[in-house]
Amino acid sequence: QSVLTQPPSVSGAPGQRVTISCTGSSSNIGAGYDVHWYQQLPGTAPKLLIYDNSNRPSGVPDRFSGSKSGTSASLAITGLQAEDEADYYCQSYDRSLSGSVFGGGTKLTVL
């Protein structure tokens, strides 16, 4: 049972927009800690996609965007492409656990 809750799977057709939610609590996201998102392509290490809720590292397309509100955060992907098919994880910090926590991950399927 992950501290941050994500839907196990989402899907969309090429060109469409999908969102992935990440729900936490008052000891992590709701406490004001930033949310970060990672993309993990099959057989590879995770890659930072969004940091500090809504910032993109250099090289990440602007099709990827993040937001945070209250005890939740969201990752949006517009103009879906086949290469976006991957697992996506949110991450934050939990003050009760005194450590970083990950969501359970969401598998994105491009139909």
Q: Which residues bind another protein (CB under 8 A)?
A: 2, 33-34, 36, 38, 40, 45-48, 51-52, 57, 87, 89, 91-93, 95, 97-105
Closest CA to 38 of 101, 109, 81, 110: 101
| Rounded least distance, CB 15 to another protein, Å | 28
Of the two residues 13 and 59, which places its CB atom closer to another protein in the complex? 59
Specify the residue, 72 or 92, whose C-beta has the smaller distance to another protein. 92
Q: What CA–CA distance (Å, rounded) separates 42 from 38?
A: 13
* Pairwise CA distance, residues 33 & 39, whole Å: 20
Backbone angle region of 54, left / alpha / beta, with phi > 0 → left and psi within -120 to 50 → alpha: alpha
C-alpha to C-alpha distance for 111 and 108, rounded to whole angstroms: 9
**Of 28 and 79, CB closest to another protein:** 28
Paired residues of 89 in beta bridges: 38
CB 78 to another protein: min, Å: 22
Give me the least distance between CB of 14 and another protein, in Å please.
Answer: 26
Q: Which is nearer to another protein, 51 or 64 (CB)?
A: 51
